[in-house]
């Protein structure tokens, strides 16, 4: 009998070729839809749960218009998939979000939790909704950072689908976090932001960010009031390998697309811009279609 070479046997026993354990799938239950914060946050914080589902079936049984009311939610860990089934409405609980930087959902690396990576959100046909007109003085301290979705210093983040409504800041915000001065490898596909207070999408610091087949519309509240704004805050921030493909910017108050790389003025060539826009449609914008776009490569765009 011919013996198998020892090296081949070792390869067969290598962890890299052994079958992966099935992800621990967890369907969130919330009996009292007036406050589902604890149920959702418990699932998002449980490192034993890889695949978390917010179900539509229960919502449909109780009435499709019944949302999941929540306070601020956080993803502070890696290797997690969150699915909101079609028809699910994740809605900001009334009276919450008193702090000016509280977001509906925040994916954030920080010193306390470590670096966050490999996070996927699937929300096709689902809605994330805040209450931007509630967040005004005197009941609330005025602010422009109550984002619907905030990604801070995380890597390998994918968001597929979802409508992000009435943000108290930006519909979607991408920036640095406590352990990294940029987010890396972020994909936003088929997302829609509608009626955000500041911008539909703000990108402050990112490397390898792709936004594709998405819509940013009806932004109104406080400047810049644009569909997409690329605007670093510090010389150490990054706007590199940014790609916007097949994007629609509709009826945004001040502009469709803008860049404000003022913070890079002192960085010079040490912090180059790398932005590609391919297939952007800007329509029904009362202000300008775009502004300050030097350093951007444009292809097949319609204004």
Q: What is the pLDDT of residue 21?
A: 52
The mean pLDDT value for 231-255 works out to: 93
- Point out the least confidently predicted range of 63-77, 211-225, 282-296: 282-296
pLDDT tens digit sequence for 27-38: 999 999 999 999
Q: What is the pLDDT of residue 178?
A: 80
The answer to whether the CB of 184 falls within 8 A of the CB of 160 is: no
Tokens of 53: 């589902």
Mean pLDDT of the chain: 86
Tokens of 92: 């900001």
The CA-based angle 108-112-118, given to 5 degrees, is: 40
Whose structure tokens read 């996927």? 120
Q: What is the pLDDT of residue 15?
A: 37
Is 13's pLDDT higher than 50? Answer: no
**Homologous superfamily in CATH for domain 23-299:** Single-stranded right-handed beta-helix, Pectin lyase-like (2.160.20.10)
Exposure string for 272-302, b = 16+ CB within 10 A, e = fewer: ebebebebbebeebeeebbbbeeebebeebe
Q: What is the pLDDT of residue 14?
A: 37
Tokens of 69: 């009311």
Residue bearing the bigger pLDDT, 176 or 6 = 176
Write down the pTM of the prediction: 0.88
Cα 107 vs. chain centroid, distance in angstroms? Answer: 8
CA distance 231 to 217: 19
Residues 6+ positions from 143 with CB-CB distance below 8 Å: 100, 101, 135, 168, 169
In the chain, where the domains are located: 23-299
- Point out the least confidently predicted range of 10-14, 130-134, 204-208, 253-257: 10-14
The answer to whether the CB of 223 falls within 8 A of the CB of 250 is: no
Is 16's pLDDT higher than 50? Answer: no
The answer to whether the CB of 51 falls within 8 A of the CB of 24 is: yes
The mean pLDDT value for 276-300 works out to: 71
Q: What is the pLDDT of residue 262?
A: 76
Is 61's pLDDT higher than 80? Answer: no
């Amino acid at each position: 009998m011919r013996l198998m070479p020892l090296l081949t046997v070792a390869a067969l026993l290598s962890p890299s070729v052994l079958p992966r354990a099935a992800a621990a799938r967890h369907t969130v239950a919330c009996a009292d839809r007036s406050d589902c914060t604890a149920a959702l946050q418990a699932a998002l914080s449980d490192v034993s749960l890889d695949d978390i589902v917010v179900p539509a079936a229960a919502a449909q049984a109780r009435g499709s218009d019944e949302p999941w009311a929540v306070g601020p939610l956080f993803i502070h860990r890696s290797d997690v998939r969150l699915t909101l089934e079609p028809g699910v409405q994740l809605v900001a609980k009334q009276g919450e979000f008193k702090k000016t930087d509280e977001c509906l959902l925040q994916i954030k690396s920080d010193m306390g939790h470590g670096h966050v990576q490999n996070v996927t959100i699937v929300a096709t046909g689902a809605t994330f909704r805040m209450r931007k007109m509630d967040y005004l003085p005197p009941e609330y301290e005025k602010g422009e950072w109550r984002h619907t979705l905030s990604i801070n210093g995380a890597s390998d983040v994918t968001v597929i689908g979802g409508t992000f409504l009435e943000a108290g800041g930006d519909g979607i915000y991408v920036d640095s976090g406590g352990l990294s001065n940029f987010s890396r490898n972020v994909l936003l596909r088929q997302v829609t932001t509608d009626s955000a207070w500041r911008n539909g999408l703000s990108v402050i610091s990112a490397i390898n960010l792709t936004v594709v087949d998405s819509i940013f519309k009806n932004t109104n509240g406080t400047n810049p009031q644009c569909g997409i704004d690329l605007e670093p805050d510090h010389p150490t921030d990054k706007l590199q390998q940014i790609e916007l493909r097949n994007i629609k910017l509709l009826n945004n108050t001040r502009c469709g697309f803008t860049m404000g790389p003022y913070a890079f003025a002192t960085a010079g060539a040490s912090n180059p811009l790398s932005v590609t826009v391919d297939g952007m449609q800007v329509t029904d914008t009362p202000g300008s279609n775009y502004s300050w776009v030097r350093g951007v490569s444009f292809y097949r765009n319609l204004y």
